[in-house]
Structure 1
Amino acid sequence: MSAAETTLAGDALPEDDDEALPADHDAYWDELTDDTLAHLRRIRADARAQQRRDTAFAVYVTVLMVGTYGGFYTIQVIQDGTFHAQVARPDIPWQAALPYAATAVCVLALLAVLRTARWRGPVLLDALTVDWLLPLPVRWDRLLRPKFRAAVAKGAVGGVLLGAFGGLSLCLAGLGPFPVDLLAGALAGGAFGVLTVSASAFVAVRGGRGSAWWTLLLSALAVLFVLQAVLAWYGHRSGPLENVALWSGPWGWAAHTLVLATGGNAVVSGVGWLLAAVLLVGSAVGCALWAGRQAPLISGEFLRERARTADGIAAAVGTADLRRLRLAARAGAGDTHVDRARWSPRPPRRRSLLIPWRDAVALTAAPAQAGWGLAWWTAAFAASSTAVAADTTAARLCALAATLVFGYLAAGRWVEPAWTEADDLRRSRLLPYPYPSLMLRHALLPTAALAGTAAVGCGVLALLGLPVMPGVAVLVSAPALVGAALVSANRGSMPQALFIGTDTMMGNTAPVQVLLWYVRAPLVICTALAPAVYYLSGGTAHPTALVVSAALVAAATAGALSWTCGRARRLYAQ
């Protein structure tokens, strides 16, 4: 420590290099930290005031929009739920699937928060604070602990709001009275919100190391619970399995409260619910206390990298560049560093298999892409399977929309090598294929993988005696969905003219134009697929309906691949 390192309040470190520095617990460091943080508050007072005004304005606009467009509806729902309380019916599909569905939602929420912590963490400092404050010899706990407490408070409030919304949804589905569902959802959501934010501190302290293992574990649990929910929807309930799911971890303890509120599960009793509530609250409090002590141990390198990542994400959001946003988040999480795969397929002997082999090597080197693709594809399969048991047209349409959206997300993960190819066109010039033909060859492996997985799912449905046509609907839609993902991969940079828009009586059209530019490929292809998937997932076996559905699927696939060639040719010519 040199004599040039002084505090902004005028105090200097010992001038003699041979003189020993004060001990770590000396009051000198506390005074130095107080002076430094006080100066930081003074020079940033205007910026903090502006930030508070921006936050207040955002809250005001949100409350105004929600109150204007949803206020009367919410009041009516509350009145109906309060004065006409619903009676739980254990025989309806929603009641049977609730234990697994609620557990799966909690697992996915924990997974989302932990993955976000890899590039953001529970404590995020801006670049100016990181560059100026971290090099100074101050106590970091005085800066990091208040921010961590604020993050825990935000997690609790967000959990309460989301849990209350979940309880309201259960009431609207006929699963219990409104006050009980609302209170149960708010309590479970608040405690689980504190737990997830506190657990994210563990990821930040470790710098994201070992994240692949818990990501794989939580993803596998979520897929397992979703499959069990689908089986329960069709009447294949198992008391022991529900008991295992509800006691498998904090996600099950949080689901206990909602299941008890609906009154439709014999596994959850009053004593069991009380024990689960004690475990959930105790684990949340214990995790928060532990994380509060560990927060100062977050490394300065981690804070610097996350500050740069946050700036990159803010820039991508400001320009509405979703691809850049995703790449910035992956870079902050360390996903862009690809190690050599422990296993990779052998090089092919046929020239036609060169591109599928390259795609397979890329996906084995980054298995998270294929894993998430399979997870989304499983969700699409489950959503399509629920359409048979849907008793209303609205429910079938919701299942149809979920099937197509999840299927497109799965295809988007599997065509990640094509995204990489489109990001840097120089890579394609080393290959013996024209760029449009190269893009079509990128569709071979994703289509084969998704269709093969769907075929296995159809076999499982047949063995269980469940309807197979919903699985067939997902299987035949795979080529068209892959084509839509390839069109999106080759869309290029968004024209800046879309940000200008046109002023109308309903406002400026710029947001709608930007949104349509991003979703035009999946919107068009999924709309073309929708009638076929709707009829097939509903179990329709009429010959005319099958012929029409096959024609629609073939037309959507041909259109998607032709569109891919056109977009690839246009992108390469830019």
Structure 2
Amino acid sequence: MTAPHAEQTDSPPDWTDADDWTPEALALLRTLRAPHRRGRAKQVLFLLYCVVLVLVIWGGVPSLGLFLQAKMGADYTAHGGRLLAALPSGIAAVSLATFLVVLRDALWRGPVVPPRASIDWLLIHPVRPRPVLRPWFWLSCGLAAFPGLVTAVGAMVALGLMVKVGLAAAFGWCLVGCLCVPLLATSAAVWVERSDRAARWVRRLSGPVLLAVLGLAAQCGLAIAGDRVGWLERGELWSGPWGWAGITALAPTRASVPGAWAAAALLLIGTLGALVLADRAASTVPLDRLRERARTAAGVLAALRTVELRSARLAVSSAAGAKPRHRLRLPAPRSAWLVIPWRDATALLRAPARLGRAVLLTGPALLAAVPAHTSRGPAGWLATGVAVVFGYLAVAQLLEPARVEADDLRRSSWSPYRITGLMLRHAVVPVLLGGLIAVLAALGVELAGGGPAVWLAPVLVPALVAAGLVNACRGVPRRDLIVSPLGGAGGGAGGGLGPLVFAAWYAAGPAVAVVVLAAPLSDAVRTDSNAACVPVAGLALALAGVLGYWAWDRAGKLRAAN
């Protein structure tokens, strides 16, 4: 009687090759899913047809026209010098940004993400994971390589027109970097997906890498303006795969760097080696991690289909973010009116990445204002509008407590304030911190030779914070606007203005700020005098009051709707 009892208590043995039904199971699934696969293939082919059609219409036909004009005597080589000056740091910035985006994507989704049915049902049976997971890795590689191929074609056209390089040579050299960089990033993303240590390193290095990307972008702008630093560019070009791609792109031009064949060999050999290692590692991703990521990806896709953009963003941030180990605390306030700012400041201390993003986004806002200083008319208005948008994105990072409060009004049940007054109190910390960041940025620009117009930056902060409050209080997404009567004849969604109407409703606050401030702010930045800045400062403060009242009104309607 003891032997059967022992057999019942012992753990079951591992399944052997005799229990392996992987080929039969996959063959049966292919047979059962054949009708679905044919329908899906038709959808993919139609999508590919649409993409190719758009690329041909918006890229191929204009490029062909430019080449025909060049044959008839048009000269585009006047821009060749600036293009060659921008390539070293510009390619390094784009390549490094590609690594950052792909590796950050691997924190919540990853290159190996099979459907939930394969994970929840197929992989829990005695089926080898490698035949199931490998195709999804190579699918991610193909999707990553397609934009690189398109970029290589665009680079070939630009070099052929502006630098008079042979099209075959330009395409071949550019293709090396344009394919190897995304494939290297995708291969590295597999290790981020399967390793907690690699994921922690990506989170730690995301901020410094983003700073490096912004610095390279600024250097690219300075190089176009004629201020180049040769030794720094050479160091960047040989610093890693992001720089080797620039060396290969410059190889067929008169600005070629010695060692182009070595850079190309390093890229090709490194990419092939990384693909082989990633192919082997793709089947070792833990099942529980695959299941979690597949559910997150499905939730994000569902939120995007229903135009729940904030839900999608929250799902991504909750899956990709790391839990803080240390919870910093501020002394409890003694005055009741300081409770809301104290909570907002505490929330920022526990999520310092938001404050870091606010600081980083201030840089592009200032850089976008540089062309506005020398441009007039629509070009200056466009540059100023871009600067206002980046300024809004910077202060919007500090408004997360207000957005959380507006997502679920039950959160504010503890507060003695009405939701209208509560929302306005959430503006205190963003205005103070945003103003401080803007003052420090303006001080740095003035020390570098800027004029009085730089001090408009802190004056604009209250208006941008109020615009963020308007967006925070917009309530449930108005998907009906997409198919509203404004969307076309009979209210149809195809080819009408419905999506534009929805976008205008979704981004109403910053859109009003850009429309109102772009032209007068552009004139003040170009004039750069105290007399021109005073009216703009008054307009910005008045706009802050109008947008603040709009946010107060929207918050009241939000309470009434609930």
TM-score, scaled to structure 2: 0.87
- Alignment partner of 1:415 out of 399, 403, 406: 399
Unaligned segments of structure 1, at least 5 residues: 1-14
For residue 478 of structure 2, what is the amino acid of its counterpart?
P
- Is 1:425 aligned to residue 409 of structure 2? yes
Mapped partners of 1:162, 1:202: distance in 2: 26
For residue 129 of structure 1, what is the amino acid of its counterpart?
S
Deviation at 1:111, TM superposition (A): 1.1
- Is 1:530 aligned to residue 513 of structure 2? no
Residues 547/259 of structure 1: CA separation in 2 closer, same or farther (3 Å cut): farther
- Is 1:215 aligned to residue 199 of structure 2? no
Unaligned segments of structure 2, at least 5 residues: 1-6
Pairwise mapping of residues 121-520 of structure 1 onto structure 2 (< 5 A)?
121-165=110-154, 168=157, 179=167, 184-207=173-196, 208-232=199-223, 235-259=226-250, 263=254, 269=257, 271-333=258-320, 335=321, 338-339=323-324, 341-389=326-374, 395-465=379-449, 467-468=450-451, 471-502=454-485, 504=488, 507-520=495-508
Q: SS at the partner of 1:507? A: coil
Residues 386/357 of structure 1: CA separation in 2 closer, same or farther (3 Å cut): farther
Residues 109/18 of structure 1: CA separation in 2 closer, same or farther (3 Å cut): closer
Deviation at 1:133, TM superposition (A): 0.8
Pairwise mapping of residues 73-152 of structure 1 onto structure 2 (< 5 A)?
73-80=62-69, 84=74, 86-87=76-77, 92=82, 96-152=85-141
Mapped partners of 1:481, 1:342: distance in 2: 29
Deviation at 1:338, TM superposition (A): 4.3
Deviation at 1:261, TM superposition (A): 5.8
Mapped partners of 2:135, 2:150: distance in 1: 23
Cα shift readout 1:60-85 (whole Å, capped 9, x = no counterpart):
23334454566543321343467756
For residue 351 of structure 2, what is the amino acid of its counterpart?
A
Residues 234/72 of structure 1: CA separation in 2 closer, same or farther (3 Å cut): closer
For residue 52 of structure 2, what is the amino acid of its counterpart?
V
Mapped partners of 1:287, 1:219: distance in 2: 24
Mapped partners of 2:525, 2:172: distance in 1: 36
Is 2:92–2:242's contact at 8 Å kept on the other side of the alignment? yes
Deviation at 1:322, TM superposition (A): 0.7
Is 2:459–2:541's contact at 8 Å kept on the other side of the alignment? no
Is 1:377–1:450's contact at 8 Å kept on the other side of the alignment? no
Residues 528/394 of structure 1: CA separation in 2 closer, same or farther (3 Å cut): closer
Correspondence for 1:5: none
Deviation at 1:112, TM superposition (A): 1.2
- Alignment partner of 1:35 out of 24, 30, 37: 24
Mapped partners of 2:281, 2:408: distance in 1: 41
Q: SS at the partner of 1:538? A: helix
Residues 536/95 of structure 1: CA separation in 2 closer, same or farther (3 Å cut): farther
Correspondence for 2:548: 561
Mapped partners of 2:251, 2:26: distance in 1: 49
Q: Out of 191-200 and 80-89, give the one that drifted further.
A: 80-89
Mapped partners of 2:105, 2:295: distance in 1: 15
Is 1:373–1:413's contact at 8 Å kept on the other side of the alignment? yes
Mapped partners of 1:66, 1:316: distance in 2: 28
Mapped partners of 1:82, 1:373: distance in 2: 49
Deviation at 1:550, TM superposition (A): 2.1
Is 1:458–1:468's contact at 8 Å kept on the other side of the alignment? no
- Is 1:541 aligned to residue 524 of structure 2? no
Mapped partners of 2:32, 2:134: distance in 1: 21
Is 2:237–2:246's contact at 8 Å kept on the other side of the alignment? yes
Cα shift readout 1:322-342 (whole Å, capped 9, x = no counterpart):
111112222332x3x643645
Residues 229/356 of structure 1: CA separation in 2 closer, same or farther (3 Å cut): farther
Percentage identity across paired residues of the two chains: 33
Correspondence for 1:9: none
Mapped partners of 1:177, 1:81: distance in 2: 13
Q: SS at the partner of 1:567? A: helix
Correspondence for 1:10: none
For residue 109 of structure 2, what is the amino acid of its counterpart?
R
Q: SS at the partner of 2:259? A: helix
Q: SS at the partner of 1:187? A: helix
For residue 183 of structure 2, what is the amino acid of its counterpart?
V
Mapped partners of 2:163, 2:349: distance in 1: 44
Mapped partners of 2:366, 2:166: distance in 1: 32
Aligned residues: 546
Mapped partners of 1:469, 1:277: distance in 2: 49
Is 1:485–1:522's contact at 8 Å kept on the other side of the alignment? yes
Deviation at 1:110, TM superposition (A): 1.5
- Is 1:571 aligned to residue 558 of structure 2? yes
For residue 357 of structure 1, what is the amino acid of its counterpart?
W
Q: Which has the larger share of helix?
A: 2
Q: Out of 36-45 and 60-69, give the one that drifted further.
A: 60-69
Residues 154/303 of structure 1: CA separation in 2 closer, same or farther (3 Å cut): same
Deviation at 1:209, TM superposition (A): 4.0
Residues 512/375 of structure 1: CA separation in 2 closer, same or farther (3 Å cut): same
Mapped partners of 2:338, 2:230: distance in 1: 48
Residues 20/433 of structure 1: CA separation in 2 closer, same or farther (3 Å cut): closer
For residue 519 of structure 1, what is the amino acid of its counterpart?
A
Mapped partners of 2:417, 2:159: distance in 1: 54
Residues 480/19 of structure 1: CA separation in 2 closer, same or farther (3 Å cut): closer
Tell me the C-alpha RMSD between the 2 structures: 3.1
